[in-house]
Structure formats: C-alpha cells, structure tokens
Structure 1
Amino acid sequence: MKNVFILLFLLPFTALAQQNYSTSIDNFMQAQVAVNNFNGNVLVAKAGKVIYQKAFGYRNYDTKQLLDTNSVFELASVSKQFTAMGILMLLEKGKLSLTDSLRKFFPQLPYKGVTIQNLLTHTSGLPDYMTAMENKWDHKKIAFNDDMINFLASEKVPANFAPGKKFEYSNTGYAILASIIEKVSGLTYRYFMYKNIFVPLRMDHSQVYNTRRSTKDTIANYAYGFVFADSLKKYVLPDSLTKDDVVFYLDGIEGDGTINSTTGDLLKWDQALKNHSLLGLATQNEMLSTQSLMDTVTKKYYGYGVSIGADQFGVVISHSGGWPGYHTILTRYPVKDVTIIILSNNESDVSSIAYGITGILFDMKVALPYVHKEIAVDATILNRYLGSYSRKLQTLTLSFDIIKKDGKLYRHQNGIADVELKPESNTRFFYADGTDRQIEFETDKTGKVTGGWFINTGVRSELHKAKK
C-alpha cells in the first residue's frame, strides 16, 4: 500500500513537469513565430511519448492553406539515414559488404578504391554532382540517378581526393548508395523504402517523392517549400527564381534527399533506431557509432546517415537537412531520452530552434528571441573587451578572440570568417550575421572584464577571459 501511495503522490508532479515543458516550449515557439517568422511543424518527445506537437503557419503561402500536424515535408538530408538503413538491411541479408567497391556496381565510373563504407561515411572523395552538373547539364531537363551517374562517367569529373583520406560531406555518395540499393535488391529505391521501412513502421504519411516536377505527382496535405524573395518582399516558390532552379533539374535525384514525411512518422522512425526494430543490435549500434571524424575542433563524428557529437547537454545523435524552401532536423539526446523534430517550409533556422528547446528540456532558463537594436558605444568601452575567451562543452574547450577592426568589435576564430559584434548595451553585443547569438560581458566596478556569457538561441554558457 505504501508504494501505491507514493506512486499516486508523484503522478500529479510528473504531469505538472511535462505540462511546464509543454508551456515553456510553446512560449518559446510562439516567440520564434513572432520574431523570426518561423513556419513549420514541431514535435518533442520524452521516452518516446509526445510532450509537445504543433503546426505553425502555412503549408502553401500562395493559397493560405494552413499546416496541420500531419502535413508532409521534404526532409532533404535527413533522408540520408533512410538510405543508410537500406544499405545496412541488405548487409544483414548478405546481399552486399561494406568493403564492396563502387565499381563493382558501376564499372563505368572512374573512381577506383571507393567502398560502400566510404560512401556511407563521406570519405569517398567523389566530386559533388550538383556543382559538376550546374554548368554542363540542361537546366530544362530533369535528371535522375542514372543520368547523374552517366554524367560523372562521361564527363570523367575528377575526384576531390583519394578515398579514406578525409571527411567531406557528399551528396553524390548517398545518391549512389540509393542506386546500389536498387541494383542489389532489384527494387526501385522508392518501393524498397516503402516495403522495408515505411510499411513495417506504419509510417503511413511517408514516401520517396522525386516526381513532383516530372509527372506532376502530388501529395495530399503537402507543405510546399517557400523562399523569401528580397526583391518582392514576400515568400515565393523557388521554382520562380533562376538561382534556385536546382529544384527543377535535379528533382529526380534520390538517396541524398527526397524522403518526405511528417513529424509523427519521424518519431516512429526515431524510436525504431533506438529500439533496433529494423536491424540487429550490433548493426544498429554500428550505424549510430563514430565512423568518421567530421570536425576536429568540436569532435563531431559521422556514423551511417547520422552525426554523433556532444554539446553542453551531452551526447547528441542528429542530422539536419536543407533544400530551397526547406530546413529540417531530427535530433535525440540519449541521456534524457528526448527527441526533437522540426520541419520548416520557409527555411527557418531549425538547428538553433532545436538547441533552444533542448535547453528547456534540460531545465535551463532559456531567453525568448527578441529584435536586436544597435546602439553607439564609446571606443574606450569597446577596448576593454578585446582579448581571448573560452567556454567549455562537456570535455571540450572552445576558444575565440575578440578583435577590433575599423572601430568595430569582431569575433575571430581560426578557420571561420570573422563576425561583427554589434552593441545593444554597454555590456551586451549581438552577432551581425543574423543568427540568434549574443555575448554579454561582466565587469567589476573599475570596468575590468571578470567574465561573461555566450548566449545561443537563449541558452547561456559561461565565458572565461584569458589572463594577460
């Protein structure tokens, strides 16, 4: 009886905690809509249970049709984990090996020594098909995977580096993986995904969609991707802009993108990865383990179709995607078993928004976004902030300098372009690149800097200034 009493006693507090998360996330998202024009769908889950799900804005800006929680979005590069899953399923069936050569399947390609493992981990050195085809492909003709492979073969586009030498993100590699799935399975990539992933997981709103422009195929409740046209001061379909015509002539390429889905279906997928529903435990663990080093500074790695890293909250398994009109992200923190899925059809900054929501889930006080206004600050005040700073992320220490150029402060970090820091008070500066990042300095009575804070999408982390 005592245990029952304790359980009943705790239930209201558990429900209250979840309600507080939901309320805090909704306040944060409403501010993202008001300040940053967020348009899209959001789902947040804890231990596989939805604690927040909402749709914001239009699925079609032209017709003013509204999104709902079952609206279907292009996932862009979030699709890569589905392609990786297809390869690993064939691996478990003994249909291929990760050491198999690319030329075993496509001998016409001039790239020697490239393996499936290289393709999965972005270490193949293959040229970027999008760059290669930009100037030599008829932009009025829609390319499909076979066209892309034959183009690389006939044009003999050189490799960027020898396979295995380094990490370089490769859409080409994942498109070719989709074609390998077709060769090995005897099924189209679309049907393979449907039969082996979408049906077993009951992802009823998901499909491969690379026929929107070639056959005028349509999807019910589709979230059309829109981009902001500066000249028109409004959101338009990218098809109407010459700079974004890749949405037409590369619309047929699949494997690196073209999975279309909903936030609800992606939660089913996320849980399938967590529970190894489609693969044996050993193979699933390989997919989610560190296979290649993406970033030597932040120690971020790539697995098979996903990235693995750590931030101030802990280990994170994630992938984002971008295509004209769409920004997407699926991310999970195993330590708290929380999943965040954000799909935007107006290119909102989903990665930063996901980071802010993560702060809420980890019980941090997250500041809401607001409009930043630059003020004039005396040069003597600016000078006191010059120097080297660092902040810690778990076991990592990230460092940068604050320098002065032409009377203005800049964040300087090796290998990254300098970013101007604009003052909004005597102690608080915002990044001038449009991102929701600020630096707030703390000083003593004499004006000497004693420390500070780096603020990313409302999440604060402590800054330390190096002593001279």
Structure 2
Amino acid sequence: MKRIPGILFLIALSVSLNAQPLSTQDQHVVDSIMNANYKPDEPGAVLLIAKAGKPIYRKAFGLSNLEFNVPNKPENIFRIASMTKQFTAVCVLQLAQRGKLNLQDDIKKYLPDYNSHGRRITIEHLLSHTSGIPDFAEKKDFPAQMVLTQSPGELMNFFMNDSLTFEPGTNWGYSNSGYVVAGLIVEKVSGLPLNEYIRENIFAPLDMNHSAIGNYDSLVRNASYGYINAASGKYMPILYMSWSWPYAAGNIISNVDDLLKWDNALYTEKILKKEWTEKAWRSVVLPDGQNANYGFGWTSNNYKGIQFIDHAGGMAGFSSDAIRIPSKQLYMVILSNKPIWTVPVLSSIALQLIHAPRQPINHLTQKALNDYTGVYAISQSFYAKAPGETLYQYFTVRDDTLFAQSPGYPKSVLVNVGKDLFAWAWWKNSYCEFRRDKKGKVISAEFYNEPVQTGPRNVQKKTDLPLPKAKQAVTLAAAKLALFSGKYDFTGGLVLSITTEGDRIYFQMPGQQKEEFFAENETNLFSKATDSTIEFTEDKGKISGMVFKVQGTQYPGKKME
C-alpha cells in the first residue's frame, strides 16, 4: 500500500482542520435528524458531509458493538452493500475506456455458456438494470443457500436458468444478478479476480486504505457489528451469510473517509475520464419514454433543476447511502449498522441543506378521502415481477386517515400534502400522487421519492376489484392452538417457528420479530398486519405441515418432530 509522504499528510490535515463547518442552524438540524434515528444505546451510524471535497460535518452515533457497549467512531468500517455497484460499474467502464470491451457487446461474447434464453443481453443492460435477469436474492431458496460458499461461476448458475422477467432493454428491474454477471465479465476481460482488479485499479491508486472486499479470513480493525431486530423487540447479531454471495453486487467494506476520497477522485480523471463518468450519471430512458432515473451504478435525478447522483445499499444489519450534488459541491455519505433504511434519513438531511421547503400537511374529511379507496394494480415494482404475475395495492380509509397496504406488508399511513398528493407518514419524502380523468374520477396512483428516485416512477391503475373483506377472528382453545406449535422445515435449512402463549399464537421467521396470527377457523390462521395466511395440514389426526401464503405465493413446510 502507498503511504502519504509526511509533508503531504500535514498539508492535507491542515486543509481538513481549516474547512468551514456547517452553520450553527444547519448543524442543529442535522444533529436533530441523526439523534432522532440513532439512539445512544442502539446500533448507530456515521455521517460525513463534505463541501468542495473537504469535510464540514463528521460524526458517529449509537453503538458499534452492543455486547460490549462500544460506541461508533467516525473512522469505523461498515459493509456498504449495494453501494458496491458503482465500483463494479467503474471497473467495467475502465475496461471500455481502454478498448477492452464495448458496452453494446453481447454478454455471451465473454461468457459463452451463459443462458440468455435466446435474447441479446448487452453489458449496458447489466449496468442499467434493464437486462431482465431476475434478482437471485428474491429467489425462494436464497435464504437457505446464503450460508453456502459459492464460486462466482456457481453463483451465476444459481440464477441464469430462471426465465427473464422482461425482454432486455424494454423495462427496468433492479437486479443483483446482473451485477454478478458484470463482475464475471471484468474477471474474464482483465484476467484478474474481481477483488484484485478493484484493489489494483481503485483502492491502491486512491489510497483507500480502509476499504476492502469483505471476507472472514482476516480481522478488520474498527469494524462495526451488524444487528437485526430480535423477537424481544431489541436487537440480535446478524445471521451468517457467506461473503461469496454479495460479490460484485455488494461485497465492499469501507468507511466515510475512504468514500470521500472516492468521490473526490470522480471529479478528476485519475480513475475514469469525464466522458465515461458522464455516461454513468446519465439516466437511461426506456422505449416507452419513462425515465429510469438510473445510469450505470448510480441513480441520476433532477430535483427542482438540481442534479442528485446517489446510490444506497442494504443487507442484513447494515444500510448505507451517499448523495452527491455537483452544482452545490456537496457530498453526503451515511453508513449504518442498524436495521433501518438510511435513504429517508439522508434525503431529509439533503433537502434541509439545500433549503427545500416541505409541503404543509392538510387535513381532509373521510368523505374526501373515500375518492382514493380501492384496489390498484401494481404495474412497476423495484424488483421486476415474473411474467404474468399481478400484485395489488389496497387503499382504505378509517376515520379521517388514508392507509396504503402493499402485498405482504403492514398498512402505512398517508398524510395529505397537496391536491391529490400524499406523503408516507414514516418517510415524508416518499409520495403518492393520484391522477383523475376528465370527469374528476380517480383512475391511478403514481409513487415516487424525492430528491432521489431509484427506477421509474411506479404508476398503479385503479381497478374495479372489490377490497378484500376483513377476516374475522374466532377463538380456539389453548390446547388446540398448542397442536400447531413447533418448527417447520421449508427445505434447504430454512426453519420457521410457531409458538403459543395461552390462547395466543405467533409465527416467526429466522432473525425477525415474532408476529401474532389469529384463527380464521380450525386449520387456518391470518395476520392482521399483513396479507399473510397459514393453512395447516393434517395426517392421521396430527398436524403434519403448513402452507404459508404471502404476496400471492405459497410456501409449503413440513412439521419437524
């Protein structure tokens, strides 16, 4: 590793120390947002804000290690998850810049054994999430497989035979799988393992001495531990996942200081020429005219005439996000070891720093809100749907509050902030805007986030389908409920649990909080929070298994003795 000569280090330190901090007002606002989301006795985060390449805010919040009550420090190292994609994209663009490959090349030119199902998939399709390759992390058997170490080739075999979700280049669907294929192409063209290529062509030239490819083979100083929600309502350590799975889609570990070095380098041509970074930050436009709000490894959004370049990351126990605003010379990066999404936090901070006013909250009557109720067909989702699959969103009203419910999720409160415009109560920068026909009848709902949106806006058409009737719970004797209690094997090592406490029954997935279910009849349970149901099966008078249904998909499990 290169070392910075002493005099240069002193100069750099002097510049850093002389950088002007945030104004007192802005610092108070940022502190308030961070303190509201990251408590001193919980997993936390590190936030860095830079102006013109120099830190003006750099603070740590919460705990790095709960077991030993160790606080996070600004220099702590985190898993950055999908922020890795921008590094993989730059690796590909470097090879294109050197004439080693062309973004319009068919991927089979480099991976002749890849099953592209008779379609032409280009390298550009991989980088822009327009390949139609389904995301491996969405496969039913992924939770059971993630503990197994895979070679990159074996990882590719895990998903490549699954049908494409759409014709390449015609739609957008976030795909970790596509970046796995991109990583394999980097290895094929460069002749180096991806980790070595990144180290030699990015980390070493930029003196990113606190960044690496994640592994379990070496100790990492100042590493923050990841935590997930526990059944107790507190936290538990993350479940094991082999580092072989994230690969080119999410396997980098880093800290905020190294990521600032990375961002600063992107203003120069040390890593990539300007024409190629501009390609990466130019949003793809789909054939139907939709703006995908995504380039190559970064989102690209225009918010009130200001360009926001962003990418977030999330994996069990860790969340990350970084926003660059070139016109303001601002860079903001947050790395967290707490199981909450960092995007709403950083978006709120970004809007405060550019002084973008938030819409006032209005109060509509129940009669006015009834206009929006109904069943809406989901036409576009973050992960592309399987061909022929239809999902729905439900809008309901109780008293003077509008609720939205996506398949498999609890109801969310919407607050009115404008004419036919609502914001999610838990994320004020995430919107639902209803559209009306010429007669004033509500016909669709459009979903989007500000100031950064990943993927096209989601337009959902209102259907004539009736809202599902609320299920009525019946009372079953505690002895009857106890017959359901036990562990259920869903194959591949995935085991789900049913427990009872008197006349109450709970369902629990590994690493998640237990959820109370209610009896619909003698063999069926349902969740009041989501649309999940459980149907128990019997064999010779004994409970032999269950069928867990969520988001329209059935998962059979066998009861373990």
With the length of structure 2 as denominator, give the TM-score of the two structures: 0.61
CA RMSD for the aligned pairs? 3.7
What's 2:300 paired with? 308
The 3-state SS of whatever aligns with 1:55 is: strand
The 2-side partners of 1:136 and 1:24 are apart by 39
| Aligned pair partner of 1:141 in 139, 148, 156 | 148
* Percentage identity across paired residues of the two chains: 28
CA contact (8 A) 2:404 2:412 kept: no
CA contact (8 A) 1:403 1:409 kept: no
Pair 1:290-2:290 in alignment: no
Greater displacement, 75-84 / 133-142:
133-142
Q: Which runs of 5+ in 2 are unaligned?
A: 1-18, 373-393, 416-421, 432-448, 451-561
What's 1:116 paired with? 123
Pair 1:220-2:221 in alignment: yes
CA contact (8 A) 1:293 1:301 kept: no
Question: CA 1:254 to 1:336, structure 2 compared with 1: closer, same or farther past 3 Å?
Answer: same
What's 1:363 paired with? 355
Pair 1:407-2:399 in alignment: yes
Partner deviation per Cα, 1:35-86 (whole Å, 9 max, x = no partner): 9967110001111121100011222222222211111111111110000000
The 2-side partners of 1:166 and 1:280 are apart by 29
The 2-side partners of 1:138 and 1:16 are apart by 47
What's 1:235 paired with? 235
CA contact (8 A) 2:152 2:244 kept: no
Give, as a single letter, the amino acid of the residue that structure 2 aligns with 1:185: S
CA contact (8 A) 2:182 2:248 kept: yes
The 2-side partners of 1:339 and 1:46 are apart by 7
The 2-side partners of 1:129 and 1:142 are apart by 15
| 1:18, distance to aligned residue in structure 2 (A) | 3.7
The 2-side partners of 1:422 and 1:119 are apart by 35
Pair 1:334-2:341 in alignment: no
| 1:137, distance to aligned residue in structure 2 (A) | 6.6
The 3-state SS of whatever aligns with 2:38 is: helix
Question: CA 1:360 to 1:432, structure 2 compared with 1: closer, same or farther past 3 Å?
Answer: closer
With the length of structure 1 as denominator, give the TM-score of the two structures: 0.72
The 3-state SS of whatever aligns with 1:157 is: coil
The 2-side partners of 1:89 and 1:103 are apart by 20
Question: CA 1:178 to 1:48, structure 2 compared with 1: closer, same or farther past 3 Å?
Answer: same
CA contact (8 A) 2:319 2:340 kept: yes
| Aligned pair partner of 1:126 in 115, 125, 133 | 133
| 1:336, distance to aligned residue in structure 2 (A) | 1.3
Partner deviation per Cα, 1:339-379 (whole Å, 9 max, x = no partner): 11011111233111112211331235789xxxxxxxxx9xx
What's 1:258 paired with? 251
The 3-state SS of whatever aligns with 1:54 is: strand
| Aligned pair partner of 1:58 in 49, 57, 63 | 63
The 2-side partners of 1:383 and 1:70 are apart by 53
Greater displacement, 304-313 / 174-183:
304-313
Q: Which runs of 5+ in 1 are unaligned?
A: 1-13, 240-246, 368-376, 389-401, 424-429, 440-455, 458-468
Question: CA 1:52 to 1:17, structure 2 compared with 1: closer, same or farther past 3 Å?
Answer: closer
Q: Between Structure 1 and Structure 2, how many residues are aligned?
A: 384
The 2-side partners of 1:381 and 1:253 are apart by 48
| Aligned pair partner of 2:344 in 337, 345, 352 | 352
What's 1:426 paired with? none
CA contact (8 A) 2:81 2:251 kept: yes
| 1:320, distance to aligned residue in structure 2 (A) | 0.7
The 2-side partners of 1:36 and 1:317 are apart by 33
What's 2:179 paired with? 174
Question: CA 1:93 to 1:432, structure 2 compared with 1: closer, same or farther past 3 Å?
Answer: closer
The 2-side partners of 1:17 and 1:133 are apart by 47
Question: CA 1:262 to 1:31, structure 2 compared with 1: closer, same or farther past 3 Å?
Answer: same
